[in-house]
Structure 1
């Protein structure tokens, strides 16, 4: 798998130049829990990325709960982490890869290909006996030059236009009860975008919490046509990212992220809402 690296691979690379490891641990509703966990211990040389302070911008009336930050300052921040075009980046979290996938997606959005996700979370890394550290290093700053790929995104206005169009598939990455509209613990309206099908993002993982391999991802999305445009969304543009990566691993090329996702969709009263099975 081109986007996933094993624990053994990363352990062998520790200390090599042009490697940056990014700890993305974060718990929704406990915004500092990830940073606190990082300060207790982390993979050696790792730097920390906070979902809401580093990987998201200010929340407004529209745009969802985790909009993108301004890409200018964000690119400068990546440089401060020691990332440039020659850097290999490995991201991890302890939330099934959801937060690490957001970071992975953002680097791809800025044109950086050399970014990977650790096959599992920090807890399993530590339990397996791999090294951890309490030292918080100050990276040597580099210059990161972004090359924005706007084609990886789709706006709410374009999603509206594409509803019901042949050759377009909406993929809802949330848990099935939220998709069905049976419960909605976070956003003000329950349900899904009309026409969307459900594919819970955690189905990207196997029973041991490791990312499924390429063949398993292909089997998971065998009901989809690779010629179609796949629009992926979730609640706020975070847990859709594991599905975007899994689709890429399965060989899908025409995949777009609806970044604002459900939290953006329901911020427009005129947007239609569906419940139940499609």
Structure 2
């Protein structure tokens, strides 16, 4: 099994590789300009900036969640515009524990571009390790990015509803436990979780230092899961579910879906049932 992660050292050795494109995905929820401002201040040499809300999400509607999936044709055009084609290895990084980078990684997997990895550590780790940074903006040589959409990677609300409580299906809530239990809800109008969901907080994908855990550690995290099950992962808006999906893939799980709208979509329908107890 090939890893979906790249080490700092390996990226440092490939900074001048024309077949490697680096995408800076830094973004701070609630501070929509902070990531771009940080990028303009300094970034990994050659990195292009990808904005969670401008590039990796569509506009918010009444339903569909707080970060709906972007228009895929527009995303493909943006990727091609910065020089990504079928031969390009894409390396994504952020400074948010890999959550934003994993969103980009998942979207590229969804578009059929398997040559996509997430940097094993954050941008802060990169700087502390003494690797180069720059404020210089990269030059783009446009190419043609041709998507091959993997429809089986994603579920929408009707598909999730059909599978609730079904044998052979595991639903994972990637939010912190207090939100999962409905004890607090700082963002969405309703607290709780989708009935039958179990809780695996996405930040448990990381070591205490904030780097990604190794594959064997991820397998230990998910030892309660049946590898033959269909696994559906959601979070608040479809962003922090993606680090869990990457971790599951690292652990060897293959049949893993994203509920794209996640809790913010689910709770936008008043008639939908809500769980507030462990395993309920």
Query: Aligning the two structures, in what range does the TM-score lie when normalised by the shorter sequence?
Result: over 0.9
Q: What residue number does 2:117 align with?
A: 116
SS in 1 for 2:187: coil
Supply the distance in 2 between the matched residues of 1:113 and 1:160 (Cα, whole angstroms): 29
Supply the distance in 1 between the matched residues of 2:82 and 2:60 (Cα, whole angstroms): 25
SS in 1 for 2:155: coil
Supply the distance in 1 between the matched residues of 2:207 and 2:157 (Cα, whole angstroms): 32
Supply the distance in 2 between the matched residues of 1:111 and 1:60 (Cα, whole angstroms): 26
What is the CA-CA distance between 1:237 and the residue it aligns to? 0.3
Q: Which runs of 5+ in 2 are unaligned?
A: none
SS in 2 for 1:89: strand
Q: What residue number does 1:91 align with?
A: 92
SS in 2 for 1:82: coil
Map 1:214-253 onto structure 2 (within 5 A). 214-253=215-254
Q: Are residue 184 (structure 1) and residue 185 (structure 2) matched?
A: yes
Map 1:164-183 onto structure 2 (within 5 A). 164-183=165-184
What is the CA-CA distance between 1:73 and the residue it aligns to? 1.3
Q: Which runs of 5+ in 1 are unaligned?
A: none
Supply the distance in 1 between the matched residues of 2:69 and 2:139 (Cα, whole angstroms): 25
**CA-to-aligned-CA distance 1:80-137 (integer Å, 9 cap, x gap):** 1110000011000000000000000000000001110001111111111100011001
Q: What residue number does 1:4 align with?
A: 5
Q: What residue number does 1:139 align with?
A: 140
Supply the distance in 2 between the matched residues of 1:69 and 1:98 (Cα, whole angstroms): 17
SS in 2 for 1:90: strand
What is the CA-CA distance between 1:253 and the residue it aligns to? 1.0
Supply the distance in 2 between the matched residues of 1:82 and 1:217 (Cα, whole angstroms): 33
**CA-to-aligned-CA distance 1:51-102 (integer Å, 9 cap, x gap):** 0000000110110000011111110110011100000110000000000000
Q: What residue number does 2:72 align with?
A: 71
What is the CA-CA distance between 1:35 and the residue it aligns to? 0.1
Structure 1: which 4+ aligned runs deviate by more than 4 Å? none
**CA-to-aligned-CA distance 1:185-242 (integer Å, 9 cap, x gap):** 0000000000100000000001111111111111110110011110000000000000
- What is the CA RMSD across the aligned residues, in angstroms? 0.7
**CA-to-aligned-CA distance 1:8-53 (integer Å, 9 cap, x gap):** 1100111111110000000000000000000000000000000000
Supply the distance in 2 between the matched residues of 1:15 and 1:163 (Cα, whole angstroms): 48
Supply the distance in 1 between the matched residues of 2:221 and 2:70 (Cα, whole angstroms): 32
Q: What residue number does 2:50 align with?
A: 49
Q: What residue number does 2:272 align with?
A: 271
Supply the distance in 2 between the matched residues of 1:162 and 1:151 (Cα, whole angstroms): 14
Q: Are residue 193 (structure 1) and residue 194 (structure 2) matched?
A: yes
Q: What residue number does 2:257 align with?
A: 256
Q: What's the TM-score, normalizing by structure 1?
A: 0.99
Supply the distance in 2 between the matched residues of 1:199 and 1:233 (Cα, whole angstroms): 10
SS in 2 for 1:116: strand
Q: What residue number does 1:202 align with?
A: 203
SS in 1 for 2:195: coil
What is the CA-CA distance between 1:174 and the residue it aligns to? 0.1
Q: What residue number does 2:156 align with?
A: 155
What is the CA-CA distance between 1:276 and the residue it aligns to? 2.1
Supply the distance in 2 between the matched residues of 1:146 and 1:177 (Cα, whole angstroms): 38
Q: What residue number does 2:25 align with?
A: 24
